[in-house]
Structure 1
Amino acid sequence: MLRQRVDELLATYDPATVSATEFLGARFDAGLAWVHFPEGHGGLGLPQEYNEDVANWLAEAGAPEPDRSRNGIGLGMVAPTIMAIGTKEQQEKYLRPLYTCEEIWCQLFSEPGAGSDLAAVATKAVLSGDTWTVDGQKVWTSGAHHAKRAILVARTDIEVPKHAGMTYFLVDMEDPGIEVRPLRQITGEAEFNEVFLNGVKIPDADRVGETGEGWKVATTTLNNERVAIGSGADREAGHIGVLAEKWRKYPAIRSEAAYHELMHWWIEAEVTRLTGERLRQQLEVGQPGPEGSAMKLAFATQAQAITGLAIELDPDHGLLYDDWTMHRPDSTDFLGRDVGFRYLRAKGNSLEGGSSEILRNVVAERVLGLPAEQRLDKGIPFKDVPR
Structure 2
Amino acid sequence: MKKGIKEFCMCPHCTSSTKKVHSYKFRRIKHSVWQERTVVLSFKQRRFYCRKCNRAFTEYTKGIDRKNTTENFRSILLKNMSRASLRYTMDNSNVSSSTLYGVLNENHLKQEIDWESQGEKFTLGIDEHSFRGTRMALTLTNITKRKLLKVCEDDRIETVERFLASTDKQRINEVCIDMKRGFLLAVQRELPNAIITVDKFHVIAYANKMVDEVRKVIIGKDFKARRALFKGKERLHEKEKLKLEFIFKKYEKFPALYEAYFVKEKLRDFYKSESMQEAKRKMKWLIIFCENSNSKYITDFGGTLKRWKEHILNHFVQGSTSAFTEGVHTKIKMIKRMSFGFRNIQNYIAKISLAFLPFLLINHHTF
Q: TM-score scaled to structure 1, two decimals?
A: 0.23
Larger radius of gyration: 2
Which protein is richer in strand relative to its size? 2
Q: RCO (CA 8 Å, sep 6+): is it higher in 1 or 2?
A: 2
Q: TM-score scaled to structure 2, two decimals?
A: 0.24
